[in-house]
């Protein structure tokens, strides 16, 4: 690309070529005739030759000008397509487009979404559930306002994304009454050989694995699941003990009949809201962050 190429001048040349005269282009663009002439001379200097020949009844393109006009047709056609595509993909006003990992608790999501979804807010919510890589890509592309996640993205892959920590909670192991009564005595040594329902991957899984290794505990992995409702459902059927944040302990007891066996020292569940850049642009996203910190912070 020539260093001195001015795209405004290029666009004005394109309009002159369409109109066939400087006078017609001047009226269409709302630009003084003398200003337009000066811009065209600058463009010709940048491109290394004459583009137009003056005639009594207008202008005629030189061979170089014909080539440049051909490029202009492509450049400004693509520019129009780009604008249409960007407008089509941009989130509509009055809507809140969120991404969410399947490992995020729906109960926590309901807690944090109350202000943005109040009757007075008039905000329409759309939630996409997917993996971290896909959702971060959608966030970068401008198709999501924010992503709710319980794990941080890889910085190398998503350097423009900022993580807002909205809460954290100690992790406990929960199970049915029968399993709780069996594994509470002698906890945590009693977990050796105990059936566990664990997340398939992520920081929580790694932290639990480190704790088991430090304590010399070798549990039996009964299932690896990233879907929170499914994990709780299996725990409710007595398939194993599930790691659940204490902020969900009451919900786990009331809805699934699960009881806490014991806490895992130094291991926390965390909830983040990811945005593109540090600044939060959508007011409903800021409400979500503020609500989450009020309700979930420090539990």
Q: What CATH number is given to the structural domain containing 34?
A: 1.10.10.10
Task: Indicate whether 1 belongs to any domain.
Answer: no
Q: What CATH number is given to the structural domain containing 247?
A: 3.40.190.10
Domain extent, residue 62, equals 7-89
Task: Indicate whether 2 belongs to any domain.
Answer: no
The pLDDT of residue 297 = 66
Backbone angles phi, psi at 63, to 5 degrees: -55, -40
The pLDDT of residue 38 = 92
Residues 6+ apart with CB under 8 A from 54: none
If asked whether residues 179 and 64 sit together in one domain, one would say no
In three-state secondary structure terms, 62 is coil
pTM of this prediction exceeds 0.75? no
Number of domains in the chain: 3
If asked whether residues 276 and 142 sit together in one domain, one would say yes
The pLDDT of residue 220 = 96
If asked whether residues 262 and 191 sit together in one domain, one would say yes
If asked whether residues 158 and 284 sit together in one domain, one would say yes
If asked whether residues 175 and 253 sit together in one domain, one would say yes
The pLDDT of residue 12 = 93
In DSSP notation, 236-255 reads HTTS-BEEEEGGGHHHHHHH
If asked whether residues 277 and 161 sit together in one domain, one would say yes
79 vs 274: CA distance, rounded Å? 30
Name the token pair of 236: 């409710």
Average pLDDT per block of 10 residues along the chain, 299 residues long: 73 91 89 90 91 88 91 83 61 76 77 58 78 87 89 63 89 96 96 92 86 95 85 92 88 90 92 88 85 71
The pLDDT of residue 213 = 95
Name the token pair of 205: 């899984």
In three-state secondary structure terms, 175 is strand
Do 146 and 285 touch, CB atoms closer than 8 A?
A: yes
CB atoms under 10 Å from CB of 82, counted, come to 10
The pLDDT of residue 87 = 57
Task: Indicate whether 204 belongs to any domain.
Answer: yes
If asked whether residues 154 and 199 sit together in one domain, one would say no
215 vs 276: CA distance, rounded Å? 40
């Amino acid at each position: 690309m020539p260093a001195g190429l001015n795209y405004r001048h290029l666009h004005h040349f394109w309009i002159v070529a369409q109109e066939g005269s400087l006078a017609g282009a001047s009226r269409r663009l709302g630009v003084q005739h003398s200003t337009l002439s000066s811009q065209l001379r600058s463009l010709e200097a940048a491109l290394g030759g004459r583009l137009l020949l003056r005639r009594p009844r207008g202008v005629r393109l030189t061979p170089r000008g014909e080539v440049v006009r051909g490029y202009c047709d492509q450049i400004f056609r693509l520019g129009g397509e780009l604008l249409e595509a960007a407008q089509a993909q941009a989130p509509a006003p009055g809507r809140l487009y969120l991404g969410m990992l399947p490992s995020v608790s729906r109960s926590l999501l309901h807690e944090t979404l109350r202000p943005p979804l109040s009757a007075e807010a008039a905000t329409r919510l759309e939630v996409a559930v997917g993996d971290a890589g896909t959702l971060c890509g959608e966030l970068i592309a401008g198709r999501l306002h924010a992503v709710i996640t319980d794990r941080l993205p890889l910085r190398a892959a998503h350097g423009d994304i900022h993580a807002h920590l909205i809460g954290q909670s100690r992790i406990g192991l929960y199970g049915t009454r029968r399993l709780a009564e069996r594994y509470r005595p002698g906890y945590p040594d009693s977990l050796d050989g105990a059936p566990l329902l664990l997340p398939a991957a992520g920081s929580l899984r790694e932290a639990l694995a480190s704790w088991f290794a430090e304590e010399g505990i070798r549990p039996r992995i009964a299932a690896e699941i990233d879907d929170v409702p499914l994990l709780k459902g299996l725990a409710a059927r007595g398939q194993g003990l599930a790691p659940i944040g204490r902020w969900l302990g009451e919900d786990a007891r009331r809805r699934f009949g699960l009881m806490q066996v014991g806490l895992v020292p130094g291991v926390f569940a965390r909830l983040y809201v990811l945005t593109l850049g540090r600044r939060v642009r959508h007011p409903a996203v800021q409400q979500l962050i503020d609500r989450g910190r009020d309700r979930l912070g420090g539990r």
